[in-house]
A = this chain, B = another copy of it.
Amino acid sequence: MASHVRSLALALSVALVSVAASAADEKPKVPSMQEILDASPKSDWRTLDPDRTLYMQLPAGRVVIELAPTFAPQHAANIRTLAKEGYWDGLFVIRSQDNYVAQWGDAEEDAAKQRSRGSAKTKLPAEFERKAAGVPFVELPDSDGWAPEVGFSDGFPAARDPKSGTAWLAHCYGMVGAGRDVAADSSDGTSLYAVTGQSPRMLDRNITLVGRVVQGIELLSVLPRGTGPLGFYEDPKQYVPITSVKLASTVPEAERAKIELLRTDSKTFATVVESRRNRRDEWYKRPAGHIDLCNVPLPVREAK
């Protein structure tokens, strides 16, 4: 009981944790998110394609990134090449701006002294959006002010505009993008960032998103904030070393992440979304009847 007291007294919300059975007296018992997931068929889960998965090894552990070639084919291809050739090995996380992003890449300011891109391209087109035709899209019932339609495309938060017939990825927590200069086509995938705060949706369609952190975002989100402009670390001693960034397909199978992701086109996912739009567990007194794209959980579990 003591542990119930604590978990209830201090709990704000229940995420991936079952509601304590003893607490479900007043209202009819509704399934928790964990119970919904536990009841899901195996077919509602997918594994990562090792040829579009990156492992970024930091001192504190491994960050797993799923690339999004459907939306950023040229960036994804370049990043694969860079990873295969060890471009980031020994480079650093050089920026951590509170409530915004962590960013990694070459800290060298002088282009002539920067690390070679090897056989990767040094020039890519902007991949801010694409034709919506042919893009899988499960629309969220709720809209927001940033886009006419929002939803999920093969696990990624995304948006669409029926008028222009375009689709794009959305800047939710954990999304990974390619830093660029003022010119729209100035990113080459060498400088990457992950969103570690309130979703900066104003960046949507202004920069190329290349994927999402599916495991280990907390290794980036806890990094000390840089004290320079934009959260850059002012002292190179503060840089966080990147041991390596590898394409999962180049890593021995035994060393690969054994995780599964809930398919966003599955019935279980639709049930999860509805359960989060209207929280019915007894802690909630007023279900919102709404959810923002970037508040929707994207469940990941150890492979079964």
Q: Which of the residues B97, B199, B222 comes within 8 Å of A15, measured between beta carbons?
A: B97
Stoichiometry, as copies per complex, reads: 2
Contacts of A11 in B (CB 8 A): 179, 230
Q: 1/0 per position for A181-211, CB-CB distance to B under 8 A? A: 1101010000101000111111111110000
Residue of B nearest to A94 (CB): B10
Interface size class for chain A? Answer: 35 or more
Q: Could you tell me the distance in whole angstroms from the C-beta of A77 to the nearest C-beta in chain B?
A: 21
CA distance A13 to B179 in the complex (A): 10
CA distance A179 to B109 in the complex (A): 46
Q: Are B12 and A193 in contact (CB under 8 A)?
A: yes
CA distance A100 to B11 in the complex (A): 12
Q: Are B229 and A225 in contact (CB under 8 A)?
A: no
CA distance A13 to B304 in the complex (A): 41
A-B complex: 3 closest residue pairs judged by Cβ atoms: A6-B109, A145-B290, A98-B218
13 contacts between A and B (CB under 8 A): A7-B232, A13-B200, A13-B230, A99-B174, A99-B221, A173-B197, A182-B282, A199-B295, A201-B292, A202-B276, A205-B285, A222-B224, A222-B225
